[in-house]
Amino acid sequence: MNIKYLLLALWVAILVACQTDNSETMIQKIKGINPPIAEKQDSLIEAHGNIRKDPFFWMRLTDEQKTAEHPDEQTRKTLAYLNAENDYTQKVLAHTEELQQQLYDEIVGRIKQSDESVPYFKNGYWYYTKYEEGKEYPIYCRKAKTLDNPEEIMLDANILAADHDYYNVAALHVSADNKMLAFAEDTVSRRIYTYRFKNLETGAYLNDVLTNASPGGAWANDNSTFFYTTKNKVSLLSEKIWRHALGNKQASDQMVYHEKDPAYYIGVYKSKSNDYIIIYNNSTIVSDYHILKADNPQGDFQQFTPREKKHEYSIQHYQDKWYIVTNWEATNFRLMETSLNATHKKNWKEVIAHRPNVLLSGIDVFTNHLVISERANALTKVRIRDQRTGEEHYLDFGEDAYVAYTSTNPEFNTHTLRYIYSSLTTPMSTIEYNMDDRTQVIKKQQEVVGGHNPEDYITKRLWASARDGVKIPVSIVYHKSTKPSTQTPLLQYAYGSYGSSTDPWFSSTRLSLLDRGFIFAIAHVRGGQEMGRQWYEDGKMFKKINTFNDFVDVSKYLIAEEYTSPEHLYAQGGSAGGLLMGAVVNMAPELYNGVIAAVPFVDVVSTMMDETIPLTTNEFDEWGNPKNKDSYDYMLSYSPYDQVKAQAYPNMLITTGLFDSQVQYWEPAKWIAKLRDHKTDDNILLMYTNMDAGHGGASGRFKRHKETALQYAFFMDLENISGRSLKD
């Protein structure tokens, strides 16, 4: 037999082996299992002369109601409904439990159990993070002067997490004398942190406890003054900066800044030079900074330049100057500089001019080099300028679709740049690059336990035409044995909001889909910044519909090019990407066989009208303020919850977390209830609520993948694929 046809026959046999022997569809398997039906209690919501009926508004609980020892009737009813949905999901997917366990074991099995990060040097110590076999959480370590010296464990999150269902430690800050550690911990998943302090010489924890905090803080150079941020207890917005003296109670702390405009996120950090404490204030379209010499912690913060109605910028201190990355008269940003005592905008001088096709994302400053991070043509780029000669060059990455960005570079006086590189086929790599002789060394590449050969996978960059003629970049990856066709399952993913770009990362988790014949595609829709700042501007506010249209048009392109078909096309997005999922299933449900919407922002109008909800007031410039009729009408036209209609919807799995502070659980809970009330099909509609977690799901590096396995099993079961992979 011709070898070509022998290989084809072998590939067909493998595909057949990947299918289950039972040809029943999921719908047939769950016959007789009835979904929960939510009670209706019409609430009337009036605005601009328009009255909306919300039959499921009653599901909304306060934090106090969720955690009350003796729950009231509304709480009991709401929690009973969420648990009923969980029970229904468990019953519907009961036949996939073996597959879920297999996927979980497979995903976790690729994670190197005992692992550690590449150490970086700062202020006399080498810092790194390690994981030990079987443990969920990181251990934070350091070694003095050289890596040959004994290891010092600063913090073991496994010990701290022992008594908590959820645990996250963030924002570790070591004092300038290397003796004190400040760290923030969240034990609820509500993103409300508590700062604690540890004496690194004695190992003792101090009595100082700072509650209701945001992660991120800064030590003054006296080693006893710590600046931190607290939240509004209702909206959870960061709003006040405090000065804390070690040994004092929080009640005696001094407030040094109060942001009264709820459109802003605020925080405090220390400059790379360690010379300044910096307060930042950022809304969607405005930046504002206040600075204080770190040697003068009792002094007053000074505003860097007056706040404007529309001006975004960032600052970096180096020796006798400040560098400023700014969009002042520069849509894609430009680089400026100014002297230490002349920080007003009128004194800034241009270093790198604005370029219409290149987004200047940020800079890293070194004694002899300036590293410029850019985005162009949907790719990240790293440009290096020798400040002694003015000579410039770009790093060459050699792939069509990849992501590269500068990593931890705390020292000025070095010729070595540390950066991260990855692609859809290349595991995450930490690389050190000599900016003088242009040589580089891979210090660490993410290990995929069991082996991974990038050459077993094919990655491409495609360009789909949107309905308005704009070309949308699409990054795809699939196993080399997978033949794109109308019978090939394809998972399309996107986010498309806040200017957050969805880069083509490697994912060892994703291999479980690729190795079972799935194609994975990232639609780089408008609303991110993949193609520059205008790409973001064209996917927000009154142009938000472009985000949804782009996703749908990419789907149509992939179908037309026969990468898949509507019977085998799947979609997934989370948070604002969950809003995207909600919009597209209302607009074009016929294109998708299955959709997963994770922690989806779907009740857009009601949420944005309620200024007590976290993230509302500081996102008016992202979505619009529905108190203005034009914004109200536009947002209402796409709000997934409001636009649910009597039509057939795809098979859907919706996930949420009871303690989510970013997208409140009641949005997806109301949405699924309304979908179930209106949809005209017999397709599967499921919701899973993590009753112990928030926006990011479960904590821990292994436990979180229980939900990943659930989601993958949902897609694979719709394809009637068993647990066997192409490698079996």
Query: CB of 196 within 8 A of CB of 215?
Result: no
Instruction: Encode 237-248 in three state secondary structure.
Output: CEEEEEEEECCC
Catalytic-role residue among 475, 695, 722, 725:
695
In whole angstroms, what is the distance from residue 350 CA to residue 323 CA?
Answer: 10
Question: What is the residue whose two structure tokens read 């202020």?
Answer: 123
Catalytic-role residue among 660, 699, 722, 725:
660
Q: Please, what is the end-to-end C-alpha distance for the chain in angstroms?
A: 24
Query: CB of 126 within 8 A of CB of 120?
Result: yes
Buried b (16+ CB within 10 A) or exposed e, 601-613: bbbbbbbbbeeeb
- Selection from 179, 247, 183 nearest residue 216 by Cα: 183
Chain centroid, CA 372 distance in Å? 23
Residue 554 — φ and ψ, nearest 5°? -65, -40
Please provide the size of the chain in residues. Answer: 728
Name the burial class of residue 132, with classes exposed (0-12), middle (13-18) and buried (19+) by CB atoms within 10 angstroms of its CB: middle
In whole angstroms, what is the distance from residue 380 CA to residue 405 CA?
Answer: 7
Catalytic-role residue among 575, 606, 631, 699:
575
In whole angstroms, what is the distance from residue 728 CA to residue 711 CA?
Answer: 22
In whole angstroms, what is the distance from residue 26 CA to residue 96 CA?
Answer: 10
- 651-657/685-690 β-pairing: parallel
- Name the helix (H) or strand (E) containing 46: strand 43-47
In whole angstroms, what is the distance from residue 189 CA to residue 167 CA?
Answer: 7
In whole angstroms, what is the distance from residue 603 CA to residue 582 CA?
Answer: 10
Question: What is the residue whose two structure tokens read 């926006």?
Answer: 695
Tokens linked to 68 = 């009350």
In whole angstroms, what is the distance from residue 581 CA to residue 510 CA?
Answer: 20
Name the burial class of residue 77, with classes exposed (0-12), middle (13-18) and buried (19+) by CB atoms within 10 angstroms of its CB: middle
In whole angstroms, what is the distance from residue 563 CA to residue 558 CA?
Answer: 5
In whole angstroms, what is the distance from residue 426 CA to residue 437 CA?
Answer: 25
Q: Residue 50 CB: number of other CB atoms within 10 A? A: 12
Query: CB of 67 within 8 A of CB of 661?
Result: no
- Selection from 402, 143, 131 nearest residue 419 by Cα: 402
DSSP, res 711 = H
429 in active site: no
175 in active site: no
Query: CB of 243 within 8 A of CB of 315?
Result: no
In whole angstroms, what is the distance from residue 681 CA to residue 268 CA?
Answer: 52
Distances in Å between the alpha carbon of 391 and those of 318, 368, 370, 435?
Answer: 20, 11, 11, 11
Tokens linked to 31 = 């016959």
- Selection from 448, 456, 394 nearest residue 419 by Cα: 394
Question: What is the residue whose two structure tokens read 């068993």?
Answer: 722
575 in active site: yes
Q: Would you list the DSSP string of 375-420?
A: EETTEEEEEEEETTT--EEE-----SSEEEEE-----SS-SEEEEE
**Enzyme catalytic residues:** 575, 660, 695
